[in-house]
Amino acid sequence: DTEVTQTPKHLVMGMTNKKSLKCEQHMGHRAMYWYKQKAKKPPELMFVYSYEKLSINESVPSRFSPECPNSSLLNLHLHALQPEDSALYLCASSGGTGRNSPLHFGNGTRLTVT
């Protein structure tokens, strides 16, 4: 088991639904990340939070809305998604966005948009 916990493990939603993905870490890390991974592809960075502030948004469509309520929690709010948004959504954390802080990933939420 990883030290980054993501819920739910699986999610099926329609294009008009609103849902949220949740991520929690208790390693005292101060940076948290959302990645998207399509089948047989590497993870792609979506958002970075550093000290609970959004520091990087990789031009992600507004139907994805991140939220960092505190240093241990990270949410990704989903609304009006498209079928092509179906993917594995990975949360990660690190000690900081500095160079000496490797990423630790959760096991992801497998999202299917119908």
Taking CB under 8 A as the criterion, the residue among 11, 21, 31, 74 binding another protein is: 31
Q: Is 56 in the site for another protein (CB under 8 A)?
A: yes
Q: Which two tokens stand for residue 113?
A: 């948009």
| Contact status, residue 33 vs residue 44, Cβ threshold 8 Å | no
Site size toward another protein, by CB under 8 A: 31
Q: Is 105 in the site for another protein (CB under 8 A)?
A: yes
Alpha carbon separation from 43 to 11, 22, 33, 37, 108 (Å, rounded): 19, 18, 11, 4, 11
**Contacting residues toward another protein, per CB under 8 A:** 2, 4, 6, 31, 33, 40-43, 45, 48, 50, 55-56, 90, 92, 94, 96-108, 110
